[in-house]
Amino acid sequence: MQTNIIKNLLNPALTDEADKILRSCVHCGFCTATCPTYQIFSDELDGPRGRIYLIKQMLEGQPATKKTLTHLDRCLSCRSCETTCPSAVQYSRLLDIGKYLAEKQIKRSFLSNLARKSLLSLLLSKKLFHLTITAIQPFKSLLPKSIEPKVAIASTKLNWPIEKHRRKVLLLTGCVQNTLAPVIDKQLAHLLNHCAIQTIPIQGCCGALPQHLSAEDKATLIFKKNIDQWTKYIDQGIEAIIMSSSGCGATLKQYQSYLQYDKAYRNKAKVFTNLVVDPVEILEKETAFLSQKKIPHSDLTMAFHAPCTLQHGLGVHTKVENLLTTLGYKLVPVKDAHLCCGSAGSYSIFHPKIAKHLLTNKIAELQAGQAAILATSNIGCLTHLNSQAQQPVKHWLSVVYENLKD
């Protein structure tokens, strides 16, 4: 794509980066076919190619309008378009730059700003989030059926394993999952313990939410704090950095990209990013350990929802499904598995109608194979699916853990 970018809209490095991404797009439109919002609206501007065009116009000096911001806001950041794109266009990076530029020109309404800031404050204060969710528990049955599963705290009756091993991984416990379902991290730690790998849990947030809500300064502080806090473990030889929620893992994997212009952190961020893996990338190499322990459930059928953050963000395609099959689970095929369920971080809060539409489609596809349970790998997707599914919805790590022999 030819461009004529205005030089003084962004700093020179960001301008060059945006220009390079724009020029890599050949405008073929393959991405449009796999874009969930294009499928809903049938409007070019609600697909990746149209959004790329809107960002190009802004970078070439055309003022952003409210309509520009609306089309950019409607993007789920699911990155399905990136997986489809034959030219490896870094769409999500361009979207970040485009939203930054649009928000500099277009003011959001007072109520929209208030909602975004309140959500950010709630989720960034672990104590406040925990207190709020805990306070809701006695009254959660009074909430609408679609909300109740999103605030329910799962049982946590499990201790961290105490064994020490030579092989060690670092695990960030995150914020939302750490309140709603902290047991998942413990179950993962036990699975790794069975494979003679020790898990070192570290409390903290990955920074995904402020990054998605265009609070880049807050997000950058979190990225740097995490890198500073974890450097000593990296120096001690931990073999990987993991998170059981793929939404957080996908954010960790982008630290190198987010901090590429920070001279003090870019090299550290590169080392850090190279260590980030999804738990399945460790467990898939340890099937001998796990097979000794598992109870085969030949009658247990499962439909797996691969979150966008797992398949498009972390680029982990079908690994969970393959591992589950190796371990003896019967997975039913799921049509349109590349499409988002509508959870998408804070998206379901700010775009409830689109999120509901996507959820209804996703649930229909997941239930088509009559599976006994639904499994996924991200806490946001898990609670979102749970708000409409007939079957139990679990993290796939929980399913494997619960079927281990002692």
Task: Based on the shown chain and the rule CB under 6 A, indicate whether residue 206 belongs to the binding site for ligand SF4.
Answer: no
Task: Based on the shown chain and the rule CB under 6 A, indicate whether residue 36 belongs to the binding site for ligand SF4.
Answer: yes
* # of chain residues touching ligand SF4 (CB under 6 A): 25
Instruction: Look up residue 227 and give its two tokens.
Output: 């890198």
Task: Based on the shown chain and the rule CB under 6 A, indicate whether residue 51 belongs to the binding site for ligand SF4.
Answer: yes
Q: Tell whether the torsion through CA atoms of 191, 195, 200 and 206 is positive or negative.
A: negative
Q: Which of 55, 64, 78, 373 binds ligand SF4 (CB under 6 A)?
A: 78
Task: Based on the shown chain and the rule CB under 6 A, indicate whether residue 25 belongs to the binding site for ligand SF4.
Answer: yes
Where does this chain touch ligand SF4 (CB under 6 A) — which range of 14-22, 23-31, 326-334, 372-380?
23-31
Please name the residue that has the structure tokens 């439109």: 29
CA dist., res. 242 & res. 248, Å (int): 9
CA dist., res. 209 & res. 18, Å (int): 23
Where does this chain touch ligand SF4 (CB under 6 A) — which range of 29-37, 120-128, 360-368, 396-404?
29-37
Instruction: Look up residue 178 and give its two tokens.
Output: 């750490």
C-alpha distances (whole Å) from 351 to each of 20, 76, 273, 347 are: 31, 10, 31, 6
Task: Based on the shown chain and the rule CB under 6 A, indicate whether residue 22 belongs to the binding site for ligand SF4.
Answer: no
Cβ proximity to ligand SF4: between 85 and 192 the closer is 85
CA dist., res. 163 & res. 249, Å (int): 25
Q: Which of 6, 13, 26, 221 binds ligand SF4 (CB under 6 A)?
A: 26
Q: Which of 49, 71, 305, 362 binds ligand SF4 (CB under 6 A)?
A: 49
Cβ proximity to ligand SF4: between 36 and 182 the closer is 36
Task: Based on the shown chain and the rule CB under 6 A, indicate whether residue 89 belongs to the binding site for ligand SF4.
Answer: yes
Task: Based on the shown chain and the rule CB under 6 A, indicate whether residue 79 belongs to the binding site for ligand SF4.
Answer: yes
User: Least Å distance between CB 297 and ligand SF4?
Assistant: 34
Please name the residue that has the structure tokens 């070439």: 60
Cβ proximity to ligand SF4: between 78 and 248 the closer is 78
194 close to 162: Cβ distance less than 8 angstroms: no
The binding site for ligand SF4 (CB under 6 A) comprises 25-31, 35-37, 48-49, 51, 75-81, 84-85, 87, 89, 91
